[in-house]
Structure 1
Amino acid sequence: MTSEDRISPPTPGPLAAIERRSIGYVPLRERHGKVWHLFPVWFTGGAQLATVATGFIGVSMGANLLWSMIAILLGCAFGTFFMAFHSTQGPQLGLPQMIQSRPQFGYMGALLVWGVALISYVGYNVFNQVLAGDALHEIAGAPSTLSYVAVTVVAGAIALAGYDWIHRIQRWLSLPLIIILAVITVGFFAVVRLPDSEWSLAGFNTPAFLAQFVAAAAYQLSWAIYVSDYSRYLPPNVPIRSTFWSTYTGTFLGGAWTMLLGAGAAALNAKMDVIPALQAFGDQIFHGFGTVILIVSLPGLVTISALNFYGGSLTLLSALDCFRRFEPTRVARVVSLALIAGVALMLTLAASKSFMENFGAFLAILFYLFTPWTAVNLVDFYLVRHTHYSIREIFNPRGIYGRWSWRGLTAYAVGFIAMIPFWSTTWYTGPVAEALGGVDISVVIGLPVATVAYLIACRSLDTDAERILVAQADADLEPSSDTPSAEAVTPGGSALD
């Protein structure tokens, strides 16, 4: 039994302020919070500078502002839909997002999606830290290297404090961000003037529209890899509907609103980089407002870096657990966070101009990689196993979910391969996309193909027999009410042992 799953006395010294749990199950006695707390977490997560940059993509490729805005709204609505359904898994299972992939892909097979997730965490934080360094340089003239280090340290400290502090800080930041976004929006329509061509339905640019749609959808969908990390402490009896809509509205409003303003800044200052363009955009509303925008948006960029460090740490611990069982203690959290933050900082210091220019293609590749995983994970949760999982068996290398699950791996591979001919990025254009004039419809192919492939593969799965094993394995997962001092059952035992 691991120390993480005991009812243990408070930890003395500096480690006491660090969240105790990591990849393990959160017992019912520790569940807390309100479902509406999810709204500010994801609104603030979206209302920051990296999201602004995503809104630049359509305009930079030749789309006018109107069609860029339509692509942003549709892309955000689409990507957020799947992301919010992942959020509902947290209260039901009490587990971080990535560890939940084991029932679909197997104890070792889940390493596939965890590797993609780690690349995503690090890649986004490189971009975030470069933007933060540029913002600090514009605001205070701070040297870039010092700015990168400062952002890494502050974001790492927030991630180390953990779940409750992340929720608390996101709530504090949400109101100032709503106010500043409202002022920018009113100022844009009241003061800023653009050519009529920017508001015309004529001259639709198909590749630019679809690139913006895919970028917006991918950006929203990319939250899916850790969204239930921030709902897993909620009580399991919170309605799925409430969890979904609190997450959806926060994510959609924060992401879409900020991307729309990014598109507006790009339309006004098409030849500028993100930070100077945003500052010039604000100054067109009234002098000095651009600097105010950067100052207010900078904390959100730091906290989203903290979320990436936090999720990266949990994913790294999950991956290490596949090779060697260990106690996921506070010390393990510290070490894993230091590794993720260190790698991100080194890559940030080495980041080239070409990395920034290829950010749109990076988002598209992530979208391709996450699309079949999303289909498999959600279909398994809602349509195949109907939310019935064994917590213990997820942590058991010899358990009912196996080491390698051919069903999930096959469906993922089929869905991913089916998308390749439809890709359209600056790095590669598939033959079908090329025949369609550069139009990328890969997601329309990948989601249904992976879904159907997984449903067909699961026809041979005896879910009734599996539920019996699940009930046996988790029969005493929670301590009985008449023995409050009893230890919670550690993930790792097996109904098959």
Structure 2
Amino acid sequence: MKHPVSGAGHAGSGAPHPAADTTGTGPHAGSGGPAHHLVEGRTIDAVPETERHGRPRDLFAVWFAANISPLTIVSGTIAPLVFGLGLWPAIAAVTLGNLLGGFLMALHAAQGPRLGVPQMIQSRGQFGSHGSLLVTLVVVFMYAGWFASNLVIAGQALNRSVPAVDTSGWLVLCALAGLVVAVVGYRLIHRVGRWATVVTLALLALCAVRVFLTPGVLARATDATGFTLSGFVGMTAIGILLQITYAPYVSDYTRYMPAHAASRRSTLWFTYWGSVLGSVLPMFLGIVMGIAVADDAIAGLDTVLGGTLSAVVLCSFAVIVVHVNSMNLYGTSLCLVTAAQTFRHSWLPGRLTRTALIAGPLALGLTLALAFQDTFLASYTDFLAILQYVLIPWTAINLVDYYLIRRGHYHVPSFFAPGGGVYGRVNGPAVLVYAVSFALEVPFMHTSAYTGPVASALDGIDLSWAVGLAVPTVAYWLIARRRTAPDLLPTTAPALPQEGS
């Protein structure tokens, strides 16, 4: 399909919002601004070409470090402990799920260099300015859930190493440490990610060697042969989901990358392999731990490593969690700014407002961590299932629209315009497809609180993820392709607001 707009005024390469400061020195100065701006100034405004910087290969470290965490090890234990899988079926399910989900996630990453805006701002191009609001708020609660999950693991690990401070105390300290990194912003998150990659890879290798050298561990792991189709499908779905949950914010960390095509391709593949390898390797260790060592992966590592080595490893894991949670808080602030800017189009906050917006989600995540630390594994499994139901239809619509319908051509200033600009307040077809897709998932759902009739008939196999991916992919493509090109991207853009407060 040909697109009527291809000039500089409509290119999706990062045209700045009129209210944005593009000099790098004003209140909205981005990470490309002068060095004396320690704290990032940009929020959701488009990053102009003059501030683009960085190398796509740096993204490997960001996503590798974000995934190699104790929470990912715990996610691997779900295969034997919840789904009853033996070693090789569990490894196969984890690998398949992460390979599939990682590619969908990385397709979102490639949108960042092209458009220069955060992911949930770009979602206005599919759903409209108001239509995208629901998913944006869902993502805020997703961040809170991930933040809480990571805090629980970090708190438990630190309590085992330094029992003088109880788990709740460590939860608070880790939460505040993540806040500091998130407030400084994009540059520090990338820098911490590079260092964390080296640390985490070394720790993972050390843990794997000690676990596998422990007498009887490998024998018990390889002797486990449990398999059910429902368990295999369920664990594959978790692998897919662990990757797709990054989709609502993966381009937040690529929007400063140069916009040329080679950069976009490299962005996709470095993100893909960083995220996939960072997930499957610790999940493999978690599978072995769940089968052969202990129901509690952190307690099992403490037992196997022993003494000073255990204290060093568990404390280091807590530092890694601080990096991951800083990403969660950073993304939360962008989502909240996106939600607020829906109703106040000329408003683009600076550093102090972005910092203040983090406080509420931080308190919510900390409250969830304190409340569910004693029933973590069951709560975490249901949390993953709920995210699957709401995020997969969104990611399908977003990717179809970006790659098959508009092919990356968006009018970026309209993302910030009153009434949604050329995309309007609500894109009825997209919202309808999303709502119908979610409704069709319901009979296929399987959680501890509810099992749909189809899942019951299939002996607990949860295929809602497949429904949530296939239905909106086909339905949205069929509907959107019938619309004329001018309907998709008009040549005349509406007037944009003047700079406000």
Please report how far the alpha carbon of residue 117 of structure 1 lies from its aligned counterpart in structure 2 after TM superposition. 0.4
Q: What residue in structure 2 maps to residue 209 of structure 1?
A: 232
Please report how far the alpha carbon of residue 200 of structure 1 lies from its aligned counterpart in structure 2 after TM superposition. 5.3
Q: What residue in structure 1 maps to residue 187 of structure 2?
A: 164
Question: Which residues in structure 2 correspond to 1:96-107 (within 5 Å)?
Answer: 96-107=118-129
Question: Which residues in structure 2 correspond to 1:312-461 (within 5 Å)?
Answer: 312-325=332-345, 326-398=347-419, 399-461=421-483
List per-residue Cα deviations over 1:412-446 (Å, max 9, x = no partner): 11222222211122221111111111111222222
Please report how far the alpha carbon of residue 455 of structure 1 lies from its aligned counterpart in structure 2 after TM superposition. 1.2
- The answer to whether residue 248 in structure 2 is matched with residue 225 in structure 1 is yes
Q: Provide the rounded CA distance (Å) in 2 between the counterparts of 1:88 and 1:108.
A: 24
Q: Is the partner of 1:224 in helix, strand or coil?
A: coil
Q: 1:234 aligns with which of 257, 277, 296?
A: 257
Q: What residue in structure 1 maps to residue 100 of structure 2?
A: 78
Q: Provide the rounded CA distance (Å) in 1 between the counterparts of 2:190 and 2:104.
A: 22
Q: Report the AA paired with residue 255 of structure 1.
A: S
Q: Provide the rounded CA distance (Å) in 1 between the counterparts of 2:22 and 2:266.
A: 31
List per-residue Cα deviations over 1:48-107 (Å, max 9, x = no partner): 011111111111122222222221111111211111110000000000111111111111
Q: Report the AA paired with residue 204 of structure 1.
A: F
Q: Provide the rounded CA distance (Å) in 1 between the counterparts of 2:255 and 2:124.
A: 17
Q: What residue in structure 2 maps to residue 260 of structure 1?
A: 284
Identity of aligned residues (%): 36
Q: What residue in structure 2 maps to residue 480 of structure 1?
A: none
Please report how far the alpha carbon of residue 323 of structure 1 lies from its aligned counterpart in structure 2 after TM superposition. 2.1
Moved more, 247-256 or 54-63: 54-63
Q: Residues 138 and 149 (structure 1 numbering): CA distance in 2 closer, same or farther, change over 3 Å?
A: same
- The TM-score with structure 1 as length reference comes to 0.89
Q: 1:310 aligns with which of 320, 330, 335?
A: 330
Q: What residue in structure 1 maps to residue 207 of structure 2?
A: 184
Q: Provide the rounded CA distance (Å) in 2 between the counterparts of 1:201 and 1:347.
A: 34
Moved more, 108-117 or 374-383: 108-117
Q: Residues 197 and 17 (structure 1 numbering): CA distance in 2 closer, same or farther, change over 3 Å?
A: closer
Moved more, 412-421 or 274-283: 274-283
Unaligned segments of structure 1, at least 5 residues: 475-489
Please report how far the alpha carbon of residue 461 of structure 1 lies from its aligned counterpart in structure 2 after TM superposition. 2.4
Q: Residues 304 and 203 (structure 1 numbering): CA distance in 2 closer, same or farther, change over 3 Å?
A: closer
- The answer to whether residue 77 in structure 2 is matched with residue 56 in structure 1 is yes
CA contact (8 A) 1:18 1:160 kept: yes
Please report how far the alpha carbon of residue 209 of structure 1 lies from its aligned counterpart in structure 2 after TM superposition. 2.5
List per-residue Cα deviations over 1:2-59 (Å, max 9, x = no partner): 66424253679xx942101011100110000001011000000000011111111111
Q: 2:43 aligns with which of 5, 22, 37?
A: 22
CA contact (8 A) 1:120 1:366 kept: yes
Please report how far the alpha carbon of residue 150 of structure 1 lies from its aligned counterpart in structure 2 after TM superposition. 1.1
Please report how far the alpha carbon of residue 463 of structure 1 lies from its aligned counterpart in structure 2 after TM superposition. 2.3
How many equivalent residue pairs? 471
Q: Report the AA paired with residue 426 of structure 1.
A: S
List per-residue Cα deviations over 1:387-424 (Å, max 9, x = no partner): 00011111113211010111211111122222221112
CA contact (8 A) 2:129 2:415 kept: yes
Q: Which consecutive segments of 4 or more residues in structure 1 shift more than 6 A?
A: none
CA contact (8 A) 2:446 2:455 kept: yes
Q: Provide the rounded CA distance (Å) in 1 between the counterparts of 2:257 and 2:239.
A: 28
Q: Residues 8 and 36 (structure 1 numbering): CA distance in 2 closer, same or farther, change over 3 Å?
A: closer
Q: Is the partner of 2:57 in helix, strand or coil?
A: helix
Unaligned segments of structure 2, at least 5 residues: 1-16, 30-35
Q: Provide the rounded CA distance (Å) in 1 between the counterparts of 2:375 and 2:224.
A: 32
Q: Residues 101 and 192 (structure 1 numbering): CA distance in 2 closer, same or farther, change over 3 Å?
A: farther
Q: What residue in structure 1 maps to residue 318 of structure 2?
A: 298
Q: 2:273 aligns with which of 220, 233, 249?
A: 249
Q: Provide the rounded CA distance (Å) in 2 between the counterparts of 1:364 and 1:426.
A: 10
Q: What residue in structure 2 maps to residue 484 of structure 1?
A: none
CA contact (8 A) 1:96 1:314 kept: yes
CA contact (8 A) 1:35 1:238 kept: no
CA contact (8 A) 2:114 2:259 kept: yes
Q: 1:146 aligns with which of 153, 162, 169?
A: 169
Q: Residues 203 and 160 (structure 1 numbering): CA distance in 2 closer, same or farther, change over 3 Å?
A: closer
- The answer to whether residue 56 in structure 2 is matched with residue 35 in structure 1 is yes
- The TM-score with structure 2 as length reference comes to 0.88
CA contact (8 A) 1:24 1:328 kept: no
- The answer to whether residue 148 in structure 2 is matched with residue 126 in structure 1 is yes
Q: Residues 3 and 105 (structure 1 numbering): CA distance in 2 closer, same or farther, change over 3 Å?
A: closer
